[in-house]
Amino acid sequence: MVGTRSVWQNLLPLLLVAATLPYFVNLGVSSIWDANEAFYAQTPREMLEADDYVTPSFNFQLRLNKPVLSYWEVAASYRLFGISERSERLPIAAGGIVLVAVAFGLARLMGGTTAGVIAGLALATSPRVLLLARRIIIDVHITMFLGLILLCFALAESRPKRRRLYLCLMYVAAGFGVLMKGPVAVFIPAVAFLIYFASQRRLRDIRDMMLPTGAVISLAIAAPWFYLVYREHGFEYIRAFILGENLGRYAEAVGVQSRGFLFYVPVMMADLFPWTLLLPVALWWAAREAASSRVARLLLIWIATIVVFFSLSATKEDLYILPIVPAVAALIGAMTGKAIDGDAIARPVRWFTIAMAIALFASGSAIVWFVSVAGRYQLDGAAAVGALAAVGGIGGLVTAFRRRLPAAVFTMAASLVLTSWCIVVCCLPAFERYKPVRPFADIIRARASAGAIVGSYRFALPSMVYYLNRPVMEVVLPDHLRAVFYASSDIYFVMAEAEYESIKTRLPVRTFVLARQQMFDLKPVNFLEGSELPQFVLVSNRE
């Protein structure tokens, strides 16, 4: 048993390397689709073309609702590698790898190298994190900076001889965090660390946090851009960002919100699925360890602070609690590592590992059924993803029942690594058939004159701005659309075919459908019901 355990433990680091490589594979194969990614792809291009690195703009209009660091990262990548989807996604993918490293570091502080490797695997092989690290730059990177703040603080607590160095690095991460998303990068860690000190009756130790030095370091990084914005545009934009984008969203719901206090419970389980099937026992174990382990106490407080804080917010978005994932992965990794080493926690961990194996098998089987049996949508590689997950679940189930926990962890992690490779190599390229923006943009670029009007009707398509690099009009009202078609002789609009059928006879000129393509509807209810995908059309007043 000892020899077998050693073999699996020796193979785990190689598996972690294999799990991180998909983050950089096929970065350019998928067209930009998500609205957030469109903002962070196009704004740096507009900054480069205007030679203005202070004032962000999107669709050639001022956009100061977020700080500038995410735009600078992509602009630097564009400078080095040229303007492309791959260049835009390189900083995001790098942020995902840093998150894996943070989870490794936190778990290693608690349970050694094996614990760190399992934590890294738990984060790296999560399908949700993998996909977020290919398109959602600001949330991945604020999670990265908050994770670095947490890791540096944990190192300062665990290694007092280098406390000053780690605290200085923590304040560097805080400064860049503020430049990424604003005051939340300082506020959340401050609350969590205050609770951490109070829980140990160590509030006096706050005096040793080098707060004046930390303020100087963070302000030296973040303040210059805010000053330049103030000098060029006045205080109104800064006030609107701090009060509107931060305090305003917290105090008042933005959009239609019917999300209660428990909204984030399923989100927690989804972020690192299927590893989060181990989370309940990991939280129980960490609570038990908190009396003797400062890091376990810190991670518990970090998770609770973020989840409770955003549960009280009027506006709730699932990505708001993404900064808990390195801490969650670290707890899962540290606990599993202890179980593998024969700790008393081994028995409950084995039963929760069995639950994880069942969930992995069930998820994989469901994917195979939907794609191969029910015939819901044609997506290359989807059946293979489901089959790999199901096989990994079966392997994990068998080895866990045979009390071979290291083998069970390795088997399921290996199946998840293979599914990650299958997703990025097979599924994402095939998904392009359901994303019409890039082919529609190619047609518009080949036909439209310099003065042509391009837009979308009753459906936001911000990625068109990136692919056309020209202003794109967004129209909602039928009267506005009629006025546009009346005013110009060269018009190109994208809209749902159903919307076009309802308005085409009311347009003032004859119109032509230049192209049509299905668009994937990500609503789960439509997927489960097998609803037909909506058809979108490119309409022009020129044949």
Residue 522 has what pLDDT?
57
Pair 485, 491: CB distance under 8 Å: yes
Enter the pTM of the model.
0.91
Residue 406 has what pLDDT?
85
- pLDDT tens-digit readout, 332-377: 999 998 888 877 788 888 889 899 999 999 998 888 887 766 566 6
Is residue 471 classed as helix, strand or coil in its secondary structure? Answer: coil
pLDDT-above-90 percentage for the chain: 58
Residue 527 has what pLDDT?
59
- pLDDT tens-digit readout, 384-426: 888 999 999 999 899 888 888 888 899 999 999 999 999 999 8
pLDDT-above-70 percentage for the chain: 92
- pLDDT tens-digit readout, 237-271: 777 666 556 665 665 656 556 677 788 888 888 88
Question: Among 412, 383, 405, 411, which residue's Cα sits nearest to residue 272?
Answer: 412
Q: What does the pLDDT average to over 199-222?
A: 93
Residue 10, exposed/middle/buried by CB under 10 A (0-12, 13-18, 19+)? exposed
**Domain range annotation of the chain:** 2-240+261-340, 347-431, 435-540
- pLDDT tens-digit readout, 437-462: 999 999 999 999 988 999 999 988 89
| pLDDT band at residue 2 under the 50/70/90 scheme | very low
Q: Which CATH number fits domain 435-540: 1.10.10, 3.40.190, 3.40.1360, 3.30.160?
A: 3.40.190
Pair 447, 492: CB distance under 8 Å: yes
Per-range mean pLDDT, top range of 105-109, 229-233, 458-462? 105-109
Q: Side chain identity at 458, as an amino acid letter?
A: R
Residue 383 has what pLDDT?
86
pLDDT at 282 exceeding the cut of 50: yes
CB atoms within 10 A of CB 513: 12
* Higher local confidence (pLDDT), 291 or 118: 118
* Higher local confidence (pLDDT), 121 or 523: 121
Minimum mean pLDDT range among 168-177, 295-304, 332-341: 332-341
Residue 523 has what pLDDT?
60
Q: What does the pLDDT average to over 282-302?
A: 93
- 228-244 burial, b at 16+ Cβ within 10 Å, e below that, comes to ebeeeeeeebbeebeee
| pLDDT band at residue 521 under the 50/70/90 scheme | low
Residue 1 has what pLDDT?
41
Q: What does the pLDDT average to over 96-112?
A: 95
Q: Which residues contact 24 (CB under 8 A, 6 or more apart)?
A: 90, 93
Q: Rounded mean pLDDT of the chain?
A: 88
Q: What does the pLDDT average to over 62-74?
A: 88
Residue 3 has what pLDDT?
47
pLDDT at 273 exceeding the cut of 80: yes
Residue 62 has what pLDDT?
85
Alpha carbon distance 254, 137 (integer Å): 21
Q: What is the DSSP letter of 537?
A: E
Q: Which residue has the tokens 């804080």?
A: 309
Q: Which residue has the tokens 């190689």?
A: 14
Q: What does the pLDDT average to over 120-137?
A: 91
